[in-house]
Structure 1
Amino acid sequence: MYRQAGMRHPGEVAVQRRAGVRAENHGSSRTRPQIPEPAADFLRDQHLLVAGAADDAGRMWAGLLTGPAGFATAKDDRTIVIGAFPAAPDPLHGLFERERDLGLLAIEPATRRRMRVNGTAVRTGTTLVVRTEQVYSNCPKYIQTREPTSSPSASPAIAGHGTTLTDRLHAWITTADTFFIATGVEGLGADVSHRGGNPGFVRVTGPRSLTFPDYAGNLMFMTLGNLELNPAAGLLFVDWERGDTLHLTGRAEVSWDPGDVPGAQRLVHFTLDEYTHATGTSAPGWTPPGYHRFNPPT
């Protein structure tokens, strides 16, 4: 059961208070379930969506949905129909045979525009039908510009699966400038958001652990608010050159001591439980990134 509209998220409130945010009702409780017309237009133009959800064991995962412009459309002001659903080996594959909470991010790197949609979703035939509960846009901070130069492969495949990071995955993560994080709390919904910075902003600290900075944002603290109540988290890294994706699931803990990390207001420490490395899930050969001018140095 999704929380009632206007209900404040206790995790967000706790994090905001610790961060010194004094504005009342600042957070996800201020979002609306309706899809505004500009948001519907933006969604219809997209080729790539990031999805986040919990599996039946409560583990959070993030994955990709891709298709030609128009594959995701708003059928009315509370319903999105997506002409794709997670395919194997994406860990989200098969989860939407019954309705469950879904976090959705529509992102257009070339223009640094993004829109978040949280609600519930279920597979209906060859489509994924989303019932919206929260719809809102985010600022362009920390998004690197890039454009695809090809289409995704028609046959995704698994390239690796395990519980400890290999040297190849270590190098992938530590040179990344972008990843996505899925979080959620039962009864409060799921969410997926973007994280970006200069290469090196994510540090691998062990075979099953990594750390990344929490930079200045919109002070809604939807991700950290979920982690305050439930440490389950799913991370998604995209290899923009090869079209591969790396899906990590585990637990995240927020440290309020940013140490000596430039630009960090907090640090997030992630412990890996399991990973899946998939090929052919994203378009390969994107243009070189244009780094955002607000990215702190690494």
Structure 2
Amino acid sequence: MAATGYHSGERAAQALAGETERADHLGRSFRDTVPAVAAEFLAQRQLLVVGAADGAGRMWATALAGEPGFLGVPDERSVRVAAAPHPDDPLRETLRGRAAVPIGTIALEPATRRRMRVNGTARADELGFVLHTEQVFANCPKYIQKRRPVPAAPNSAPTPGPGPARRAAALTTVQRLTVSTADTFFLATADGEGRPDASHRGGNPGFVESLSPTALRWREYPGNGAFMTLGNLEQNPRAGLLLPDWESGGLLLLTGEARTDWADRSVTFELTAAVELPGALPLRWTEPEYSPANPPLG
């Protein structure tokens, strides 16, 4: 897909939602290079979400974090990421392998509700990877809960390092509670040719329903009108979800398939595998200030 174009799945989703004209307007802001203002934004970020497929073709979303400067823009077609996933992360091999791989990313600043998506092809280097950009654009601030990184207190104990992964084919009772009380998750999808995208979903706690140990559902709130995620799902049902634990730095990664019910514009996700990564991120965050855009539940 060209930087300023939409694929047929996105066009179909836009038409189903009656948002074609709005999507056309937004599409004119898409670029394949990183402008100076975007480079400055990325250089100050501490959180990057990555969506990609593993070696078996399963979609996953994961997160990388660091001090400001761990994201750099050496030129207008490249973003350097100086971080590697948790040792047991399903995307570790994908992002650290020798081959170039398609990925989607979203850089988030929860404190100001700003986000930017950068999609393209990544190749590993000595510190992490370099992303060759193919699609760069900013998103609206809707549904982002305000949070700020919590600096370590003087003389405080060191932040615990990553613990071993916990893997399962279904959610535990505790994990289902994590899902049903979440106010944020991230979603990785790909089009019919396997080009990934990473997106954000937010709402008041309870906006994601845990229907069973292997099924989740959420309602799609009005967004920017591009319908990139739902457009991908029109072509390719494979999807990955990431639920961060903002207090502990843990990550809950889910992979499976998702389908849209256009009657009520909801998405049902059937998971096939879950991976919990304790202490995967070095950052801890404040309690949320919920977005005023969050719709009431029920």
Equivalence map 1:11-50=2 (5 Å): 11-23=9-21, 25=24, 31-50=30-49
What is the CA distance between 1:25 and its match in structure 2?
A: 3.7
The reply to whether residue 54 of structure 1 matches residue 60 of structure 2 is no
The reply to whether residue 135 of structure 1 matches residue 136 of structure 2 is yes
Equivalence map 1:148-227=2 (5 Å): 148-150=149-151, 153=159, 155-187=161-193, 189-227=195-233
Q: Distance in 2 between matches of 1:117 and 1:103?
A: 6
Q: Which residue of 2 aligns with 1:281?
A: 280
Shift in alpha-carbon separation, 1:47–1:285, aligned structure 2, 3 A: closer
Q: Distance in 2 between matches of 1:158 and 1:29?
A: 44
The reply to whether residue 71 of structure 1 matches residue 77 of structure 2 is no
Q: Distance in 2 between matches of 1:138 and 1:8?
A: 16
* Aligned-partner residue type, residue 15 of structure 2: R
What is the CA distance between 1:159 and its match in structure 2?
A: 4.3
Q: Distance in 2 between matches of 1:208 and 1:255?
A: 18
Which range moved further: 87-96 or 246-255? 87-96
1:254 to 255, 260, 270: 260
Q: Could you state the TM-score of these two structures normalised by the residue count of structure 1?
A: 0.92
What is the CA distance between 1:116 and its match in structure 2?
A: 0.4
Q: Distance in 1 between matches of 2:41 and 2:287?
A: 24
Equivalent pair of 1:164/1:207 in contact (CA under 8 Å): yes
Shift in alpha-carbon separation, 1:282–1:200, aligned structure 2, 3 A: same
Q: Which residue of 1 aligns with 2:111?
A: 110
Which range moved further: 166-175 or 3-12? 3-12
Q: Distance in 1 between matches of 2:283 and 2:68?
A: 17
What is the CA distance between 1:241 and its match in structure 2?
A: 1.4
The SS at the match of 1:16 is: helix
What is the CA distance between 1:15 and its match in structure 2?
A: 0.5
Equivalent pair of 1:9/1:29 in contact (CA under 8 Å): no
The SS at the match of 1:180 is: strand
Equivalent pair of 1:105/1:193 in contact (CA under 8 Å): yes
Shift in alpha-carbon separation, 1:150–1:274, aligned structure 2, 3 A: farther
What is the CA distance between 1:110 and its match in structure 2?
A: 0.5
* Aligned-partner residue type, residue 95 of structure 1: T
Structure 1, gaps ≥5 residues long: 259-265
Q: Which residue of 2 aligns with 1:263?
A: none
* Aligned-partner residue type, residue 75 of structure 1: P
The SS at the match of 1:94 is: helix
Shift in alpha-carbon separation, 1:5–1:39, aligned structure 2, 3 A: closer
What is the CA distance between 1:141 and its match in structure 2?
A: 0.3
Structure 2, gaps ≥5 residues long: 153-157
Which range moved further: 224-233 or 150-159? 150-159
Q: Could you state the TM-score of these two structures normalised by the residue count of structure 2?
A: 0.92
Equivalent pair of 1:26/1:220 in contact (CA under 8 Å): no
Which range moved further: 7-16 or 110-119? 7-16
What is the CA distance between 1:112 and its match in structure 2?
A: 0.4
The reply to whether residue 239 of structure 1 matches residue 251 of structure 2 is no
Equivalent pair of 2:258/2:267 in contact (CA under 8 Å): yes
What is the CA distance between 1:8 and its match in structure 2?
A: 2.9
- Number of residues of Structure 1 aligned to a counterpart in Structure 2: 289
Q: Deviation per CA, 1:25-59: give whole Å up to 9, x if none.
A: 45658611110111000000011100110112111
The SS at the match of 2:224 is: coil
- Percent of aligned positions that are identical: 46
Q: Distance in 2 between matches of 1:29 and 1:208?
A: 39
Q: Deviation per CA, 1:105-143: give whole Å up to 9, x if none.
A: 100101101000000101012231100000000111000
Q: Distance in 2 between matches of 1:72 and 1:188?
A: 25
Q: Which residue of 1 aligns with 2:8?
A: 10
Q: How much is the aligned-residue C-alpha RMSD, in angstroms?
A: 1.8
